[in-house]
Amino acid sequence: MAHNHIDLASEFFAGNAASYDDVVRVTTLGNDHKWKKKILAHLSSPTRVLDLACGTGIVTFAIRDQFPQCELVGVDLTADYLEIAQQRAKATGHSNLTFVHSAAEHFTDDVPFDAIVSSYLAKYADIETLTANAAAMLQPGGILLMHDFTYPHNAIIAWLWERYFPVLRWMPSRNLRQWLIAFKGLPTLVRESTWVADLRTAMQQHGFTDIRTESLSMGTAAIVTASR
């Protein structure tokens, strides 16, 4: 098992880019689509948005569809995922999409953003560095939003959650078999992650206000937002 967050993410997402969109939809029992809609609901006519750990561009293109005039920058660690996103951007003919190969924490930009969003990044991230960079890149009044899995506090939901990942590991689907490493390591990562508390603390330390946490789908995920 990888020992730092970048190595861990690289390990989980190696060689499975082509199946990502289908797998994330199936394994979240359709909740991923609902969660992405909630992310978009926090955006109000943005003109420039940064999507950290954009992957194949699910959130990026959803924002583009809702706000066609918005300039979008997607950043991801995994080249295979970015290649899919870039191919989609080329196919649509939109010139306001830029994709950058970089770890989320290492990315900086001199042109300010109205919003910085991420989905499924926080549990891997160096929260302190990421939040500090976000504070520097957001214009006044800009929003930082992070969405990721959380471990459910309800005992019954936690019992079901613990038994779901072993089931996924034994499913015969070829696409799901590409995710065996992730399905094996993800439960421990989510169970041990303190990303919500860590993010809220970092937001306070870096001058963010109106910090809010929204629990999703019986505590299996959360969205944390704050204003610069």
Q: What is the pLDDT of residues 116-131, one digit of tens each?
A: 999 999 999 999 999 9
CA distance 210 to 228: 9
Question: What pLDDT is stored for residue 15 in this prediction?
Answer: 87
Question: What pLDDT is stored for residue 170 in this prediction?
Answer: 83
Alpha helices in 138-194 (DSSP H): 155-169, 174-177, 180-192
Q: Is 38 helix (H, G, I), strand (E, B) or coil?
A: helix
Question: What pLDDT is stored for residue 1 in this prediction?
Answer: 40
DSSP 8-class letter at 201: H
CA 36 to chain centre: 10
Q: What is the pLDDT of residues 74-93, one digit of tens each?
A: 999 999 999 999 999 999 87
To which H or E segment does residue 223 belong?
Answer: strand 221-227
Mean pLDDT for the stretch of residues 201-222: 98
Q: Is 64 helix (H, G, I), strand (E, B) or coil?
A: helix
Q: What is the pLDDT of residues 32-42, one digit of tens each?
A: 999 999 999 99
pLDDT at position 188 over 80? yes
CA distance 50 to 134: 10
Complete DSSP assignment for 188-223: HHHHH--HHHHHHHHHHHTT-EEEEEEEETTTTEEE
DSSP 8-class letter at 1: -
CATH fold, domain 5-227, is Rossmann fold (3.40.50)
**Is residue 212 within 8 Å of 228, Cβ to Cβ?**
no
CB-count exposure of residue 76 (10 Å: 0-12, 13-18, 19+): buried
